[in-house]
Structure 1
Amino acid sequence: MTQASNLSISPDTFAQWLQDGAELAVVDIRAPRDIAYYGSPLFGKNVPEDVLLDQIGLYVPRKVIRTVLVDGGDDSAETFARILQGQGWTGTVALEGGFPGWVNGPHAHLSFDIPGNDFTRAVRDERGTPAFTVQELAIAREKGEDVIVIDTRTVPEFTRDHVPGAVNIPGAELLLHVSDVVPSASTHIVVSCAGLPRAILGAQTLIDAGLVNRVSYLEDGTAAWRRAGWELETGATRVYGPVTEGGRAFGRDHAARFETKTRFPDIDLATARNWAEDKDRTTYLLDVRTPEEYAAEHLEGTLPAEGGQLLGLSSRTIATRGARLVLIDDADGVRAATVAHWLSRRNFEIAILHHAFARADKKAEALA
């Protein structure tokens, strides 16, 4: 535990902490506008200075955990470390030199989280995920082949721009909706995003779940489409709709086919609460449903953690390495199973909590 008189640590000490396997929280306190690709190459959880004191408890639930604040090189992290130590966050320190000192030092190759591109490329190389180029897609369409493009980004990202004709189904929602948007078992499914990460994980999710369809990811997604000199489509043109009973059944059946299924115990709410109060281990209660569902109804003390956003970069939400995760979903648990399938590769201990949330379609109302 860091003593109250120690407000900062050296990059050398931080490098040791990143590699020792014990619980460690890393919080990047810079403004979002100053952060490129979720704070690469360090990939700490971003909690900006203006909300840090109010939100630190959400992301670092246990005050004694070693918590490293990283600033933009202006020494503000030390000021906040002093304040937080005074409020009982005895494990909180600042990183000397901040983010600039880290990226220009000898340890910049170390990161708090596995970069999304590195993670998904490793998945692709290991599993042989098939690729499909934008040129191949254009030719297939010209020939009238049975092909559909599914964009696995969030609805706002899809609305901004997407490959013309694509249907939007965020990554964790795939197995719940794919049977309702894909015409037949002979349809070639091409999964797209803005580049590689979510397209690769989306395609491999469908493959791992045992779909009989031919499945590929679109190489470089919208970026490749733009480089080819073609215009992207804008607006929420074709967004997934309410879950059907057929979609639920399809999702449950195919999620059960994940080879990782048996690794994750189902727990009840009382167990989840007890884990969250454990003074010797950090536990996150993460609601992996859509933001609209979370806003309409959620369990007290849980964090909104849209499943598709957790798949490729866990530090979007999880600030403590080595923490235990409880993934909260509805009674079907399809999204939690999908997220667990990928987060397990990041060495988290994972359990799943099914809860009978109301099934009113708040998403459709929010998008109307």
Structure 2
Amino acid sequence: MPLPPIPTTIPTISPEAVRDALRAKREIALIDVREEDPYAQAHPLFAVQLSSGRIELDALWRLPRMDAPIAVYDDGEGLAEPAARRLQALGYSQIHLLAGGLAGWRDSGGELFRDVNVPSKAFGELVEHELGTPSLPAEELKALIDSGADLVVLDARRFDEYHTMSIPRGTSVPGAELVLRVRALAPNPATRIIVNCAGRTRSLIGAQSLVNAGIPNPVAALRNGTIGWTLAGFELEHGQTRRFGPVSDAQRATARAAAQSLAARAGAVRLDGAGLAAWRADGSRTLYCWDVRTPEEFAAGHLPGFGSAPGGQLVQETDVFAAVRGARIVLADDDGVRAAMTAHWLAQLGWEVAWLADVAADRFSETGPWQPARAALPEVALASPAIARYRRPYEGTDNPRAAMQAYLDWEYGLVAQLARDGTHGFQVLAVSARTVT
């Protein structure tokens, strides 16, 4: 079928109309077409970064419904209109330019945020603010390690991040694996469990996941992660390969019951095959289908039509994996734990989310790593001079101490920014944290 003719003019949408859609939980994608570094300096809370040079590469998997409402903007560089026309050429029919661009958003009273993956980071700060997620500083953890205390340190980041730098005695247990694996890693309920990441979000969400799931052990996040460890003057390990192992049937069953109860309490939906088919058939809604298991498990066998989004990273990077705010998300695993546990967080983040239940093992028939859908068009040159990827103060091993401290100072202020912004729709599940003893 030929594409409809491209309009000669592109309509605008006001910042107020975008905020109204966000508050009403109507679908909308707010697309920043600048490169990553300028995007990271200032952008609206739910703006997603899709640079002009990657539209043909990434639009189809990030914006899977061709008639979803899309607002495109830049900061006066002249990138927005050409990018909007290229989206129209791909077949997107509801393209708008944000009136006034980034300046129009700011001048209309819209809040601007720094960094990347900000919705998830702000949500992590809100969770700690609302629930008092247990944490302890690097100095206390170092003293416990030096004394030979009965504890386990669980690193909730991707394995490659853990391999680059890790806390001594740390084991790689990416976020979605924590509730499933923790009883095998700390079978004695008296063993302390410390969850860390590079900064704050994944350690806070990881620790609170264990608290929410009713783990009997004393649980805490390492305050400020590897940044806090480094700022305290302690050495990190490098090149470590410790990873989680198998779990027993009893451990899996206990974790499954806790995860699915939490998902239901948070408002996530349990879907069977017929329910998934109905959601897929609903052309009026954007739908993302993600497998939240490890990339290795995904490659060995996954459901047709599902992409790979390991659960901890999906919660951390909702702006990447679900660019259309207000869309539906369906999650899959083969154990009934990881998808439900991830769903319980996404529901609190304001998404309409479901997890698949009772999926037959033979349905996991597709193999190979995930390859995102791409347009059948040639790659194009960047529409602006290449700007280096935003240097994250919490990644790598050579970040300036001042940059790490400035990042922490910024993150502490996110709860106040959320209140000023007023569009987030986050709802924190009322589960009390426990005190570390």
Q: Which residue pairs with 1:109 in the alignment?
A: 111
Q: Tell me if 1:227 matches 2:231.
A: yes
Q: Using the aligned pairs only, state the percent identity.
A: 37
Q: Tell me if structure 2 keeps the 8 A contact 1:18–1:110.
A: no
Q: Tell me if 1:340 matches 2:343.
A: yes
Q: Tell me if structure 1 keeps the 8 A contact 2:43–2:112.
A: no
Q: Which residue pairs with 2:222 in the alignment?
A: 218
Q: Tell me if structure 2 keeps the 8 A contact 1:175–1:250.
A: no
3-state SS in 1 of match to 2:262:
coil
Counterparts in 2 of 1:114-153, with a 5 A limit? 115-153=119-157
Q: Is the deviation greater in 203-212 or in 25-34?
A: 25-34
Greater relative contact order (CA < 8 Å, ≥ 6 in sequence): 2
Gaps of 5+ in 1: 364-368
Matching residue within 46, 49, 56 for 1:46: 49
Residues 157-215 of structure 1 show CA distances to partners (whole Å, capped at 9, x for unaligned) of 11111111111101111122112222511001111111111111111111111111001
Q: Which residue pairs with 2:372 in the alignment?
A: none
Q: Is the deviation greater in 312-321 or in 148-157?
A: 312-321
Q: Is the deviation greater in 125-134 or in 52-61?
A: 52-61
Q: Tell me if 1:156 matches 2:171.
A: no
Matching residue within 59, 63, 68 for 1:65: 68
Q: Tell me if structure 1 keeps the 8 A contact 2:120–2:317.
A: yes
TM-score, length-scaled by structure 2: 0.73
Q: Which residue pairs with 2:422 in the alignment?
A: none
Q: Which residue pairs with 1:186 in the alignment?
A: 190
Q: Tell me if structure 1 keeps the 8 A contact 2:195–2:222.
A: yes
* Number of aligned positions between the proteins: 357
Q: Which residue pairs with 1:167 in the alignment?
A: 171
Matching residue within 251, 261, 272 for 1:268: 272
Q: Tell me if structure 1 keeps the 8 A contact 2:174–2:312.
A: yes
Mapped to 2, the partners of 1:264 and 1:43 lie a distance apart of 21
3-state SS in 1 of match to 2:40:
coil
Residues 238-289 of structure 1 show CA distances to partners (whole Å, capped at 9, x for unaligned) of 1223455454234224324537458433323343233123122222212212
Counterparts in 2 of 1:24-39, with a 5 A limit? 24-32=28-36, 34-36=38-40
One-letter code of the match for 1:227?
Answer: L
3-state SS in 1 of match to 2:305:
coil
TM-score, length-scaled by structure 1: 0.85
One-letter code of the match for 2:65?
Answer: R
Residues 93-143 of structure 1 show CA distances to partners (whole Å, capped at 9, x for unaligned) of 2335545x3675444416798633321122112222111111111122233
Q: Tell me if 1:289 matches 2:293.
A: yes
Gaps of 5+ in 2: 1-5, 369-437
3-state SS in 2 of match to 1:210:
coil
Mapped to 2, the partners of 1:41 and 1:230 lie a distance apart of 36
Q: Tell me if 1:21 matches 2:18.
A: no
Q: Tell me if structure 2 keeps the 8 A contact 1:60–1:320.
A: yes
Residues 299-347 of structure 1 show CA distances to partners (whole Å, capped at 9, x for unaligned) of 33223222101224421211111112211121x2201111111111122
